Amino acid sequence: MRYCVISLGAVKGNAIGAVLASALFATSAMAQDGPVKLGVLTDMSSIYADNGGQGSVVAAQMAVDDFKGKVLGRAVEVVAGDHQNKADVGSVIARRWLENEGVEVILDVPNSAVALAVQGITRDKKKLFLATGAATSRLTGDGCSMTGIHWTYDTYALSQGATRAISRLGAKSWFFLSADYSLGPQLEADSRQVIGATGGKVVGAVKHPINTPDFSSFLLQAQSSKADVIALADAGGDFINAVKQAGEFGITREQKLAGLIVFIAYIHSLGLQSAQGLMLSSAFCWGLNSETRAWSKRVIEKTHKVPTMIHAGTYGAVIHYLKVVEAAGTRDGPTVAAKMREMPVNDFMTRNGKIREDGRLVRDMYLFRVKSPAESKYKFDYYTLLATIPGEEAFKPMEEGGCPLLKKP
């Protein structure tokens, strides 16, 4: 950062004010002429790095490049930060970006606890938070914000799809193995509603710390419960380790294993032999149609990895944001957020999506089953589409979310 050092020894009276005003004006002019910065706040090195991570940075940059790199005559720049799955670290980065580095919008944030902290900061600073990686439905519930938009998926939509599908197959008793931070309890709570409504019963639950290497004691509790289904309300490396260790214990021979938040990167890591038959909800699949395949091919060429729904959502959020800024003629956070709610969302993964008053982007979700090794015909051919879930059915009704923005005087 450059600092303008002014010697006041030879400057007296009104001249001092004139010099300071001139310096401030110059600094303001430099800020106004600088790039429009988009901050991708993600997990670069831990359990969610494959879900978001560098892939989200690549997706954001692809969107900027496809938009020709400029908006309102100014260059658009993507910056990135690693929140390390710590709310305090994420908060420090977010504040620094917004207060000192001219970042206009924060994206991704694949950790619910960090996302809720960032939502509070962007709300106070009147800047945009496009939560393309976070899961908790609280972002459009008690933690909602006029400048916050929950873009890709949430705990309600994912748990609803998977839990209903498995219940329809005859599962009656459930045991929850949940991550011990905001994601786990929210996934579990949303799933319990469906289980109760479909006549099922929760026979037990246990919480595990984030990033734990040993699931043996938790899995033994789940096994001894004799539940029809062991529901994994966790994500990232925790989910992968739990599935692997469940297989080692032989649990999957007697009980079904259900993932409530599953990314294709997990399936790739596990392999079809371990993951086959798993049912899951998702907002995106790379091979869904010709448009998703064309976009995904570009990502694979850049990253050598199959893109996740977070990567697809990050691209779409950046494109929509830039379209709206261009149309509105301003970067003002509240103004842009309101305009984003007015304009329908259309891109390769979303058709006529609508952003509600509470900040929820309503779009179709999908129910998939993981293929067996024999069913897979080519690289990354992992999913069979079972059903398309309309957005109005997939996401929690707005009046049930508890968003304070909806309260009338």
For residue 236, what pLDDT is reported?
86
- Give counts: helices (H), strands (E), the chain: 14, 15
E strands, 117-244, in order: 128-131, 148-150, 173-179, 201-208, 229-233
Q: Distance between CA atoms of 213 and 46, rounded to whole angstroms?
A: 13
In a domain, 404, yes or no: no
For residue 222, what pLDDT is reported?
96
Summarize pLDDT for 139-188 with one digit per residue, the tens: 999 999 999 999 999 999 998 888 888 888 889 999 999 999 888 998 99
Element (H, E) at 104: strand 103-108
Assess whether 192 and 263 both reside in one domain: yes
In a domain, 234, yes or no: yes
Assess whether 271 and 384 both reside in one domain: yes
Q: Which CATH number characterizes residue 225's domain?
A: 3.40.50.2300
Which of 325, 343, 363 finishes a domain? Answer: 363
Assess whether 56 and 143 both reside in one domain: yes
The alpha carbon torsion through 88, 239, 59, 77 (nearest 10 deg) reads 10
Assess whether 138 and 162 both reside in one domain: no
Assess whether 141 and 56 both reside in one domain: yes
Looking at the predicted structure, is the pLDDT value of residue 25 above 50? Answer: no
Count the Cβ atoms, other than its own, within 10 Å of residue 13.
7
Assess whether 201 and 267 both reside in one domain: yes
In a domain, 3, yes or no: no
Assess whether 263 and 210 both reside in one domain: yes
Summarize pLDDT for 344-388 with one digit per residue, the tens: 999 999 999 999 999 999 999 999 999 999 999 999 999 999 889
pLDDT over 70 for what percent of the chain?
92
Range of the domain at 70: 33-153+288-363
Looking at the predicted structure, is the pLDDT value of residue 304 above 90? Answer: yes
Q: Distance between CA atoms of 348 and 295, rounded to whole angstroms?
A: 8
Assess whether 200 and 143 both reside in one domain: no
Q: Predicted confidence band at 14 (pLDDT cuts at 50, 70, 90)?
A: low
In a domain, 27, yes or no: no
Residue type, 231: A
Q: Predicted confidence band at 408 (pLDDT cuts at 50, 70, 90)?
A: low
Q: What's the pTM value of the predicted model, to 2 decimals?
A: 0.86
In a domain, 298, yes or no: yes
Assess whether 108 and 244 both reside in one domain: no
Q: Distance between CA atoms of 365 and 209, rounded to whole angstroms?
A: 29
Q: Distance between CA atoms of 51 and 42, rounded to whole angstroms?
A: 9
In a domain, 400, yes or no: no
Assess whether 53 and 186 both reside in one domain: no
Assess whether 148 and 160 both reside in one domain: no
Q: Distance between CA atoms of 53 and 57, rounded to whole angstroms?
A: 7
For residue 309, what pLDDT is reported?
97
Summarize pLDDT for 252-266 with one digit per residue, the tens: 888 988 999 999 999
In a domain, 174, yes or no: yes
Looking at the predicted structure, is the pLDDT value of residue 407 above 70? Answer: yes
Report the relative pairing of strands 74-82 and 36-42 from DSSP bridges. Answer: parallel
Q: Distance between CA atoms of 204 and 222, rounded to whole angstroms?
A: 8
Please count the structural domains in the chain: 2
Assess whether 99 and 172 both reside in one domain: no
